[in-house]
Amino acid sequence: MRLEVLDAKKRFEQRIEEFKKQLDDYRKSNDIIDELKKAHARELATHIQEHNRKFNELLKAKLDSEDALKAQFEAEKAALIKEWERKLKEAVAQAIEKTRKEEQDRARAEMEKVRATHESQIEILEMKVKRLEGDLAEAMKRIKEKDQNIAEKEVTISQRDTRIKELEKEI
């Protein structure tokens, strides 16, 4: 019977040692999980900051590009108006030098030609503006898609954080 008691005591001490070892392993696992959470949070923050920086750069470049194109459009429009005004004045000056009847017919023909050319130039510029507006709409669509992508990633992160918390509770 004494041997049984000693044997039971020995098994009990072994079980205590196993329990201590399991407890140490559990504490180490918690420390590792805490470190992983911190590393994940740092990585996520870095990723979000980098994405925001790139997004802001893209948006700024797009807006700068649009401003430059608008300024270019206005400059070209003003130059065309000035050029066509100059041509119109020349046509009128020539009409005065020649006989009234001939020059009136000629001036009318020239003015129609100038107007048609001017209108076609305006149409070309308006098509450029429409194309730029389409490019802007496409850029805004891509920005919206990226915002949705960020929102989805944030939901995934939230779900993973919740899962980690659930796993921690289970441990």
The whole-number pLDDT of residue 45 equals: 87
- pLDDT over 80 at 111, yes or no: yes
What are the pLDDT digits (tens) for 27-82?
A: 777 777 778 788 888 888 888 899 989 999 999 999 999 999 999 999 999 999 99
- Asked if 92 and 155 touch (Cβ cutoff 8 Å), the reply is no
The whole-number pLDDT of residue 95 equals: 65
Domain ranges across the chain: 2-170
Give me the DSSP letters along 70-123: HHHHHHHHHHHHHHHHHHHHHHHHHHHHS-HHHHHHHHHHHHHHHHHHHHHHHH
- When pLDDT is cut at 50, 70 and 90, the band that residue 98 belongs to is low
* Tokens read off for 32: 């590792």
* Tokens read off for 110: 């020239």
What are the pLDDT digits (tens) for 150-163?
A: 899 989 999 988 98
- State how far the Cα of 140 lies from the Cα of 63, in Å rounded to an integer: 11
The whole-number pLDDT of residue 20 equals: 80
Residue 107: how many CB atoms within 10 A of its CB? 19
Share of the chain above pLDDT 70, in %: 96
Q: Which of 59-73, 89-103, 128-142, 153-167 has the lowest mean pLDDT?
A: 89-103
The predicted model scores a pTM of: 0.33
* Tokens read off for 118: 């001017």
